[in-house]
Amino acid sequence: MDPTESGSPDSVGRVAAVVAAAGFSSRMGRFKPLLPWRHGTVIESVASALSGGGASPVYVVTGHRAEAIAEQLKGGPAETVFNADYHEDEMVRSYQVGIEALCGEGRPVLGALLALGDQPHMQKGVIRQVIGRARAAAEAVVIPSYNRRRGHPVYLPRWAFPELLGLTRGQSLRDLLEAFGEKIVYETVDSDCVRRDMDVPAEYESLRADFEWVE
């Protein structure tokens, strides 16, 4: 399927999400997606926030310990897609795999959120806000902004899918965004959840203290 095709009329207003969760968590020293968060795990909370914020479908792109993540997500709102190139540890490849799956299955969507697998603290209200801006400015790339600094998740409209899929090894999401320039709009949010993730144990503990029980 041509990723620039808009699909059926049902595509109007529907926004997917692709979560990059294929890495090794080497800096954390423990596997981040399966770390405790609330009554479950980090990856369950990520999927729940995206789905609860209005994203559908939600694809979690796996690699390292793929079966363990799939088991955690069983029966939940997210589907898993396997990134066979996960050993290269390039996040943009996970996003490409997710978008390829989305287009290959012919899912009719307006666009997709590119989300991080280590943001279990992401608030549903922020997701709704970003999706709302995406629907209001359907041709724009939407990036949440806190204190004039951009964060995640990044919204890509469907026309931008081929641009993402065209990135080559060594290129990053930042390279893609720099190419879009004036096509980007920023959605100001009131929470720094969009700016924070967790690569090391101290960041994980800090996020738990600040956000674990915040809806």
pLDDT tens digits, one per residue of 149-205: 999 999 999 999 999 999 998 899 999 999 998 999 999 999 999 999 999 999 999
Closest CA to 117 of 36, 198, 173: 198
Residue 75 maps to which CATH number?
A: 3.90.550.10
| pLDDT single digits (tens) 98-139 | 999 999 988 789 999 999 999 999 999 999 999 999 999 979
**pLDDT at residue 12, as a whole number:** 56
For residue 60, pLDDT beyond 70: yes
> Into how many domains does the chain fold?
1
Give a yes or no: residue 33 inside a domain.
Answer: yes
Q: Is position 154 within any domain?
A: yes
Q: Is residue 100 one of the residues assigned to a domain?
A: yes
Rounded average pLDDT over 77-106 = 95
Query: Which of 201, 215, 213, 206 has its CA nearest to residue 35?
Result: 201
pLDDT at 89: 84
Count other C-beta atoms under 10 Å from residue 79's C-beta.
Answer: 16
* Residue 71 belongs to a domain: yes
- 172 within a domain of the structure (yes/no): yes
Residue 70 lies in a domain: yes
The b-or-e profile of 88-125 (16+ CB within 10 A means b, else e) is eebbbbbbbbbbbbbbeeebbbbbbbbbbbbbbbbbbb
With a pLDDT cut of 70, the percent of the chain lying above it is 94
Check residue 82 and report its DSSP letter: E
Record the pTM.
Answer: 0.93
Least confident of 3-7, 54-58, 158-162, 177-181: 3-7
In a domain, 97, yes or no: yes
User: In which domain, by residue range, is 32 found?
Assistant: 13-204
